[in-house]
Structure 1
Amino acid sequence: MAYDRPWKSFQEQLALLTVRGMQVGDESAALEYLERVGYYRLSAYWYPFRVFETVGHDRHDRPITRATDQFVPGTQFVYAVRLYLFDKELRLRLTDALERIEIALRVDIAYLLGESDAFAHLHRATFHPSFARRKSGRDPRDSFEKWQERCEGMERRSKEDFVKHYRQKHGPRLPIWVAVETWDFGTLSQLFAMMKVPDQIRIAQKYGVQDWKVFQSWLRSLNYLRNVCAHHSRLWNRNVIDQPRLPKPGEIVWCDAFHDEQRLARPFLLLSIVRHMTLVVCPNTGWHRRLQAHLERFPVPHSRRRLSLEDMGAPPGWERWWTE
Structure 2
Amino acid sequence: MKYAKQATEIKDQIAQLKSRGLVISDESAAEQTLQNISYYRLAGYWWPMQADKTQHTFKPDSTFENVLAIYNFDKELRLLLFGVIERIEIAFRTKLIYHVSHEKSPWWFENPAFFKDATQHTKTLYAIDEELKRTKEVFIKEHKRQYHTDTRRPPAWKTLEIASFGNVSKLYGNLNLSIKAKDLIAAELGTVNHTFLPGWLQSINQIRNICAHHGRLWNKNLPGRPKLLKNPPFAWIADVPPTNEHKMLYVHLCCMKYLLNSIDPGNQFTEALDNLLIKYPNIDPGALGLKPNWKNEPLWAIEKLNP
Matches of 1:103 and 1:85 in 2, distance apart?
A: 27
2:182 equivalent to 1:200: yes
Gaps spanning 5+ residues in structure 1: where?
53-65, 134-141, 301-306
1:316 to 292, 295, 304: 292
TM-score relative to the length of structure 1: 0.86
Q: Who is 1:19 aligned against?
A: 19
Gaps spanning 5+ residues in structure 2: where?
none
SS at 2:140 equivalent: helix
Distance 1:107 1:251, change over 3 A: closer
Contact 1:91 1:235 in 2 (8 A): yes
Q: CA deviation at 1:215?
A: 1.2
Contact 2:75 2:214 in 1 (8 A): yes
Q: Who is 1:166 aligned against?
A: 143
In angstroms, what is the RMSD of aligned CA positions? Answer: 1.7
The list of structure 1 runs, each at least 4 consecutive aligned residues, that deviate by more than 4 angstroms after superposition, is: 249-253
Distance 1:316 1:277, change over 3 A: same
Give the length in aligned residue pairs. 294
Counterparts in 2 of 1:1-324, with a 5 A limit?
1-52=1-52, 66-115=53-102, 116-127=104-115, 129=116, 132-133=117-118, 142-171=119-148, 173-197=153-177, 198-248=180-230, 254-300=236-282, 308-321=284-297, 322=300, 323=302, 324=304
- Between 234-243 and 165-174, report the one with greater CA deviation: 165-174
Contact 2:250 2:290 in 1 (8 A): yes
SS at 1:109 equivalent: helix
Q: Who is 1:303 aligned against?
A: none
Q: Could you tell me which amino acid in structure 2 is paired with residue 41 of structure 1?
A: R
- Counting aligned pairs with the same residue, the percent is 30
Distance 1:162 1:45, change over 3 A: same
SS at 2:196 equivalent: helix
Distance 1:90 1:248, change over 3 A: same
Contact 1:240 1:266 in 2 (8 A): yes
Q: Could you tell me which amino acid in structure 1 is paired with residue 255 of structure 2?
A: I
TM-score relative to the length of structure 2: 0.90
Contact 1:298 1:309 in 2 (8 A): no
Q: CA deviation at 1:261?
A: 2.6
SS at 1:238 equivalent: coil
Q: Could you tell me which amino acid in structure 2 is paired with residue 283 of structure 1?
A: P
Q: CA deviation at 1:38?
A: 1.1
Q: Could you tell me which amino acid in structure 1 is paired with residue 166 of structure 2?
A: G
- Between 189-198 and 218-227, report the one with greater CA deviation: 189-198
Q: Could you tell me which amino acid in structure 2 is paired with residue 155 of structure 1?
A: L
Q: CA deviation at 1:297?
A: 3.2
Q: CA deviation at 1:270?
A: 1.4
Distance 1:297 1:254, change over 3 A: farther
Q: Who is 1:137 aligned against?
A: none
